[in-house]
Amino acid sequence: MDTTIKNVKITKMPESNFIKPFRMEFERDGKAMHWDCVKVHDSVSVLLYHEEKEAFLLVKQFRPAVWCRQKEDVLERGFTYELCAGILDKGISEEETIIEEIYEEVGYKVENVVKIGSFYSSFGFAGGKQTIFYAKINESMKKWKGGGIDNEQIEPFYLLVKDAMKFVYDENYVKAASMAYCFMWFNERFKK
């Protein structure tokens, strides 16, 4: 991916549609306390297994929040390797949302997904719920090249199943533990 990021400015966050900071004031066992949080959307993601390629299909994209945390000396500053995913902001079901996201991000037309599990993340300040699915894909389901909609710039990344755990431990590639979990879930389910 040949992306250039320039003229970065960090400014005050105005009212945002995606992140809503708030303070929760409460009494725990009679004691007054408070805690700072952000309200964010719940999300869905999917482990995609491509049959002919014997590979997982991940997405690579630029993430401003990661860019800001990294120094200039990293290999691909701000880029992450993720499960195909989306936020629940359209008023449709988790299954419908992830099927739409698969089509938009990587161009495959999937009819069914299998639920792996529901988890929460960033307990300390956000606590968003993430439901993870699994789906098999093959070349006959490919309808367009993908890449996302609006301003998204999403690159497909095929990772051979046999190389997946090596990839997990290579810290040059930014990834979530949930992805590592999915790889192991797959191995346990299909490779024994």
**Restricting to residues 96-115, which ones interact with a copy of itself according to CB under 8 A?**
none
Q: Which region among 48-56, 66-74, 140-148, 156-164 touches a copy of itself (by CB under 8 A)? A: 66-74
The DSSP secondary-structure symbol of 122 reads: -
Among 44, 88, 164, 174, binds a copy of itself (CB under 8 A): 174
Distances (CA, A) of 77 to 62, 64, 119: 8, 10, 27
Residue 72 labeled ligand binder: no
Q: Are strands 84-87 and 155-160 parallel, antiparallel or unpaired?
A: unpaired
* 138 CB-near residues (< 8 Å, 6+ apart): 50, 51, 52
Residue 105 labeled ligand binder: yes
Interaction of residue 122 with a copy of itself, rule CB under 8 A:
yes
Among 53, 77, 129, 136, binds a copy of itself (CB under 8 A): 129
Interaction of residue 190 with a copy of itself, rule CB under 8 A:
no
CB atoms within 10 A of CB 174: 19
Among 18, 144, 158, 190, binds a copy of itself (CB under 8 A): 18
Grouping H, G, I as helix, E, B as strand and the rest as coil, residue 184 is helix
Residue 14 CA to residue 27 CA, distance in Å, equals 30
Interaction of residue 176 with a copy of itself, rule CB under 8 A:
yes
Give me the 79-98 binding string for a copy of itself, x by CB under 8 A, dash otherwise.
-x-x----x-----------
